[in-house]
């Protein structure tokens, strides 16, 4: 009873966020409190966040893990042993098949899934992989994917069905899925490493874990979306619960479930590639990682392209089947098709027996222009150096450093032209105050608050800002957009980070992610607007977005590190590249799905194109655009951890250190810190967008 009352209260606060007046009051209160803290800070009060953990959460996890490992290691090693068999078989089978047959079968699959164009793409992609000599490594990667996917699909289907049928199962499953998708891969790979031991099975298990959530979500979605008429007609036909599930609900939702399979395949592939560098399997992921570490950029680009191509081929093929595949024609045409393929396989096999070079691709025929590429890259970096170094220096000194350590610590004569002094502080304050007042006059007090907060962080830096201020502002933001429950989650998450000694790391990561999001969103939204206004731009951008979206996260590091070498700026570039797509997509989609009758009404009133965009379309598309921003933030936070590989500091770095020391506790807690930041941001933006859509009366 009490529980029901509590949920009722939660839904009520969610349905009606604070009224404008109380919202203003709330912000006034929050800013006053923040100012008070800053005043104390100014007179020398120390608000340093604890550098060491105050609560033994990480140690407890490590101890528990040690105990668990001590008792159950044998069982997990047995699983490892068990999984090694199918992994080995798949790899051997893939490698034993002559390469022309591999190309033929993939192409045939591509044709069935998406017609001639996809078939052609498959031929080109596979020829590239074979000719560059990467097929054996690719086969190792594919073997892991082939074992991980059925595993994830089966588990995902089972969990999805269970969650659909039972409300209480669902309430447990959903937050777990959120965590599984937001805790960085590198954190949970540590306990997996400890349990299963180094080897290909680590990647297998880890990628299965990462690949299960999209399957569960899509199964749930598919079952929920079955029209009620269809379910009722199934019931009235006298179906039992099982008949209803297998004969009515699952087949009706098949398209959505297949999209889940597609996402599962992509997730598994993405993780297998990353896992290679911890698992130490000689596959394509390890090749990219090693060449990148040794600064052999030509090689890493060549092998990175292999990953991108596999991702694109598997994505297009699975998605093609999810959308029903290609209609070849009647049974006789199918028979002809398969007959033709079968005959070709036999002919190729016979040829391969005669000509060994058709069996295994000979090394002598390998096309491998790495040296030339390195030279070209050298030339490019040298030529572009003035531009790239200026870009880097400007961003780092004027944007990243102040937001990280604050103006007092970062203003130096060498770059700024003057040293930090009270005068500078005063000038800065005057400029900031002017901007705040201007914003207030032009856009209302919300804009003024936003400017004030940003100016504060620019001056003090995320690291220099006293932690109570951060907590106050974040909680106020959560309270005013999402209501009490979300504010509470935000508060608890930040306190968790604080008491676990993760504050500094979290602030550095947030700073990097925030600047990455800023650029990704500005560029992405602009491109999205352009694409919404211009069909030709849209046609050009769509395949680019598709490609970027299928690329495993790891691939994005390659171009960034080639041009900018190791450092935080490289991490920033990788973050922008990785996180830009949703901003483009959602902006275009939001603008294009503004109700046409509203656009027509605006045109009838005689608005110009720009007026219509700024006064009608953008405000109406804003909730959708914010959902794109949300996705961008999620992806940026994911990249922040991976970018530790190319020099990002913060939580990602801590996770990597924990990984090297096989310290499950620290690794998981740092990962959890990232996940908590991601989840609270997600909740705040989602509830804002939902509320805004409701206000605008958009479904």
Partner 1 sequence: MTSILSCRNLWKVYGPHADATLRRALARSDAPGDIAEQLTAGRLVVAACDVSFDVTAGEIFVIMGLSGSGKSTVVRCLSRLIEPSAGAILIEGRDLRQMSERQLIELRRHKLGMVFQHFGLLPHLNVLDNVAYPLRVQGMGLRERLERAREMVELVGLAGRETASIRELSGGMQQRVGIARSLAVEPDVWFLDEPFSALDPLIRRQMQDEFLKLQSKLKKSIVFITHDFQEALRLADRIAIMRQGRIVQIGTAADLVLSPAEDYVAAFTRDVPRDKVLTVADIMEAGGEQIGAPAVLAEMRLDRVIALMAKERRALGVVDGDGRPIGRITPEGVLEALAQSEA
**Burial of residue 607 (number of CB atoms within 10 Å: 0-12, 13-18, 19+):** middle
Tell me: does residue 4 bind partner 1 (CB under 8 A).
yes
Q: How far is the CB of 246 from partner 1 (least distance, A)?
A: 11
Q: How far is the CB of 336 from partner 1 (least distance, A)?
A: 21
Instruction: Let me know: does 270 contact 206? Beta carbons within 8 Å.
Output: no
CA atoms within 13 A on the CB side of 187: 27
Query: Read out DSSP for 324-390?
Result: T-----SHHHHHHHHHHHHHHHHHHHHHHHH-GGGTS--GGG---THHHHHHHHHHHHHHHHHHHHH
Tell me: does residue 425 bind partner 1 (CB under 8 A).
no
Q: Which stretch binds partner 1 (CB under 8 A): 101-109, 249-257, 488-496, 537-545?
A: 249-257
For residues 40 and 45, give the distance between their C-alpha atoms in angstroms, rounded to a whole number: 5
Instruction: Let me know: does 561 contact 292? Beta carbons within 8 Å.
Output: yes
Q: How far is the CB of 146 from partner 1 (least distance, A)?
A: 27
Q: Which stretch binds partner 1 (CB under 8 A): 250-258, 268-276, 493-501, 633-641?
A: 250-258
Q: How far is the CB of 287 from partner 1 (least distance, A)?
A: 43
Q: Which two tokens stand for residue 339?
A: 């007959």
Q: Which is nearer to partner 1, 227 or 596 (CB)?
A: 227
Q: Which is nearer to partner 1, 257 or 473 (CB)?
A: 257
Q: Which is nearer to partner 1, 152 or 252 (CB)?
A: 252
Q: How far is the CB of 315 from partner 1 (least distance, A)?
A: 24
Q: How far is the CB of 234 from partner 1 (least distance, A)?
A: 8
For residues 675 and 618, give the distance between their C-alpha atoms in angstroms, rounded to a whole number: 31
Q: Which stretch binds partner 1 (CB under 8 A): 161-169, 236-244, 374-382, 654-662?
A: 236-244
For residues 571 and 564, give the distance between their C-alpha atoms in angstroms, rounded to a whole number: 9
Instruction: Let me know: does 317 contact 262? Beta carbons within 8 Å.
Output: no
Q: Which of 238, 417, 596, 697 binds partner 1 (CB under 8 A)?
A: 238
Q: Which is nearer to partner 1, 42 or 236 (CB)?
A: 236
**Burial of residue 404 (number of CB atoms within 10 Å: 0-12, 13-18, 19+):** buried
Q: Which of 53, 69, 243, 374 binds partner 1 (CB under 8 A)?
A: 243
Q: Which is nearer to partner 1, 53 or 243 (CB)?
A: 243
For tokens 């080639």, name the residue: 562
Q: Which is nearer to partner 1, 251 or 595 (CB)?
A: 251
Beta strands in 552-608 (DSSP E): none
Q: Which is nearer to partner 1, 229 or 597 (CB)?
A: 229
Distance of CA 184 to the CA centre of its chain: 10
Tell me: does residue 236 bind partner 1 (CB under 8 A).
yes
- Binding string to partner 1 for residues 181 to 220, with x set by CB under 8 A, is what? ----------------------------------------
Residues 216-235 that bind partner 1 (CB under 8 A): 227, 229-235
Q: Which stretch binds partner 1 (CB under 8 A): 140-148, 204-212, 242-250, 352-360?
A: 242-250
Q: Which of 237, 434, 611, 661 binds partner 1 (CB under 8 A)?
A: 237
Tell me: does residue 252 bind partner 1 (CB under 8 A).
yes
Q: Which is nearer to partner 1, 74 or 236 (CB)?
A: 236
Q: How far is the CB of 249 from partner 1 (least distance, A)?
A: 10
Q: How far is the CB of 697 from partner 1 (least distance, A)?
A: 20
Q: Which is nearer to partner 1, 331 or 382 (CB)?
A: 331
Q: How far is the CB of 489 from partner 1 (least distance, A)?
A: 25
Q: Which stretch binds partner 1 (CB under 8 A): 243-251, 301-309, 565-573, 597-605?
A: 243-251
Q: Count of residues binding partner 1 (CB under 8 A)?
A: 20
For residues 13 and 5, give the distance between their C-alpha atoms in angstroms, rounded to a whole number: 12
Q: Which is nearer to partner 1, 237 or 526 (CB)?
A: 237
From residue 291, alpha-carbon distances to 368, 596, 627 in Å are: 14, 52, 37
Q: Which is nearer to partner 1, 230 or 566 (CB)?
A: 230
Q: Which of 6, 25, 127, 254 binds partner 1 (CB under 8 A)?
A: 254
For residues 597 and 645, give the distance between their C-alpha atoms in angstroms, rounded to a whole number: 50
Instruction: Let me know: does 184 contact 654? Beta carbons within 8 Å.
Output: no
For residues 56 and 500, give the distance between their C-alpha atoms in angstroms, rounded to a whole number: 8
For residues 496 and 668, give the distance between their C-alpha atoms in angstroms, rounded to a whole number: 13
Q: Which stretch binds partner 1 (CB under 8 A): 159-167, 246-254, 306-314, 330-338?
A: 246-254
Tell me: does residue 247 bind partner 1 (CB under 8 A).
yes
Q: Which is nearer to partner 1, 1 or 42 (CB)?
A: 1
Instruction: Let me know: does 352 contact 358? Beta carbons within 8 Å.
Output: yes
Q: Which is nearer to partner 1, 233 or 429 (CB)?
A: 233
From residue 654, alpha-carbon distances to 431, 547, 572 in Å are: 37, 31, 18
Q: Which is nearer to partner 1, 176 or 254 (CB)?
A: 254
DSSP label at residue 281 = -
Q: Which is nearer to partner 1, 102 or 226 (CB)?
A: 226
Instruction: Let me know: does 116 contact 132? Beta carbons within 8 Å.
Output: no
φ, ψ for residue 552, nearest 5 deg: -60, 145
Residues 68-107 that bind partner 1 (CB under 8 A): none
For residues 309 and 280, give the distance between their C-alpha atoms in angstroms, rounded to a whole number: 22
Q: Which stretch binds partner 1 (CB under 8 A): 238-246, 284-292, 496-504, 629-637?
A: 238-246
DSSP label at residue 226 = S
Instruction: Let me know: does 623 contact 564? Beta carbons within 8 Å.
Output: no
Q: Per residue in 468-493, is it b (16+ CB within 10 Å) or e — as a string?
A: bbbbbbbbbbbbbbbbbbbbebbbeb
Q: Which of 3, 70, 167, 240 binds partner 1 (CB under 8 A)?
A: 240
Tell me: does residue 11 bind partner 1 (CB under 8 A).
no
Q: Which stretch binds partner 1 (CB under 8 A): 98-106, 247-255, 291-299, 576-584?
A: 247-255
Q: Which of 57, 129, 248, 621 binds partner 1 (CB under 8 A)?
A: 248
Q: How far is the CB of 258 from partner 1 (least distance, A)?
A: 12
Instruction: Let me know: does 486 contact 680? Beta carbons within 8 Å.
Output: yes
Tell me: does residue 330 bind partner 1 (CB under 8 A).
no
Q: Which of 175, 251, 356, 543 binds partner 1 (CB under 8 A)?
A: 251
Q: Which is nearer to partner 1, 184 or 234 (CB)?
A: 234
Distance of CA 511 to the CA centre of its chain: 17
φ, ψ for residue 53, nearest 5 deg: -70, 135
Residues that bind partner 1 (CB under 8 A): 4, 227, 229-240, 243, 247-248, 251-252, 254
């Amino acid at each position: 009873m009490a529980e029901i009352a509590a949920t009722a209260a939660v839904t009520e606060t969610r349905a009606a966020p604070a009224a404008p007046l109380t919202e203003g009051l709330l912000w006034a209160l929050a800013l006053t409190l923040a100012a008070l803290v800053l005043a104390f800070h100014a007179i020398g009060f120390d608000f340093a966040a604890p550098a060491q953990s105050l609560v033994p959460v990480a140690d407890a996890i490590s101890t528990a893990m040690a105990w668990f490992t001590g008792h159950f290691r044998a069982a997990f090693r047995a699983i490892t042993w068990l999984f090694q068999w199918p992994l080995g078989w798949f790899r051997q089978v893939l490698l034993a098949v002559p390469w022309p047959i591999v190309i033929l079968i993939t192409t045939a699959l591509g044709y069935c899934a998406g017609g001639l164009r996809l078939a052609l793409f498959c031929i080109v992609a596979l020829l590239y992989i074979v000719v560059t000599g990467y097929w054996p490594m690719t086969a190792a990667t594919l073997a892991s994917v082939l074992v991980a996917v059925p595993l994830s699909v089966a588990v995902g289907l089972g969990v999805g069905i269970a969650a659909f049928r039972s409300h209480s199962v669902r309430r447990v499953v959903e937050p777990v899925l959120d965590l599984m998708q937001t805790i960085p891969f590198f954190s949970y790979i540590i306990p997996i490493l400890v349990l299963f031991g180094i080897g290909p099975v680590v990647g297998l298990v880890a990628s299965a874990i990462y690949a299960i959530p999209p399957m569960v979500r899509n199964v749930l979605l598919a079952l929920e979306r079955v029209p009620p008429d269809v379910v009722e007609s199934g019931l009235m036909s006298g179906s039992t619960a099982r008949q209803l599930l297998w004969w009515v609900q699952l087949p009706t939702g098949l398209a959505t479930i297949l999209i889940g399979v597609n996402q599962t395949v992509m997730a598994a592939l993405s993780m297998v590639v990353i896992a290679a560098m911890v698992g130490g399997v000689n596959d394509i992921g390890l090749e990219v990682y090693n060449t990148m570490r040794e600064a052999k950029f030509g090689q890493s680009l060549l092998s990175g392209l292999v990953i991108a191509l596999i991702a694109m081929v598997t994505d297009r093929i699975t998605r093609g089947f999810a959308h029903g595949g290609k209609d070849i024609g009647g049974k006789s045409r199918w028979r002809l098709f398969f007959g033709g393929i079968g005959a070709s396989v036999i002919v190729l096999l016979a040829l391969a027996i005669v000509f060994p070079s058709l069996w295994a691709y000979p090394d002598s025929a390998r096309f491998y222009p790495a040296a030339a590429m390195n030279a070209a890259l050298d030339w490019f970096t040298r030529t572009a150096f003035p531009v790239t170094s200026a870009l880097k220096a400007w961003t780092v000194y004027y944007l990243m450093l102040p937001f990280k350590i604050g103006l007092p610590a970062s203003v130096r004569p060498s770059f700024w032209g003057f040293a930090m002094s009270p005068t500078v502080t005063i000038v800065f304050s005057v400029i900031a105050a002017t901007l705040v007042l201007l914003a207030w006059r032009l856009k209302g007090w919300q804009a003024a608050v936003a400017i004030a907060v940003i100016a504060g962080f620019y001056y003090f830096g995320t690291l220099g800002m006293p932690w109570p201020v951060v907590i106050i502002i974040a909680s106020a933001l959560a309270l005013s957009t999402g209501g009490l429950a979300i504010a509470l989650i935000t508060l608890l998450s930040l306190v968790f980070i604080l008491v676990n000694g993760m504050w500094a790391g979290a602030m550095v990561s947030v700073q990097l992610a925030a600047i990455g999001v800023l650029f990704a969103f500005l560029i992405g939204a602009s491109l999205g607007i352009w694409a919404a206004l211009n069909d030709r731009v849209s046609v050009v951008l769509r395949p680019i977005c598709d490609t970027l979206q299928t690329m495993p996260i790891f691939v994005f590091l390659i171009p960034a590190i080639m041009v900018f070498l190791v450092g935080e700026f490289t991490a920033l570039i990788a973050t922008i590249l990785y996180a830009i797509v949703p901003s483009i997509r959602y902006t275009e989609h939001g603008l294009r799905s503004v109700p046409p009758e509203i656009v027509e009404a605006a045109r009838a009133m005689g608005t110009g194109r720009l007026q219509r965009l700024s006064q009608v379309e953008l405000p109406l598309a804003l909730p959708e655009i914010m959902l794109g921003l949300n996705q961008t933030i999620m992806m940026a936070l994911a990249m922040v951890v991976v970018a530790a590989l190319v020099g990002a500091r913060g939580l990602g770095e801590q996770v990597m250190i924990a990984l090297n020391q096989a310290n499950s506790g620290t690794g998981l807690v740092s990962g959890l810190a990232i996940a908590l930041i991601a989840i609270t941001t997600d909740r705040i933006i989602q509830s804002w967008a939902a509320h805004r859509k409701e206000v605008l009366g958009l479904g």
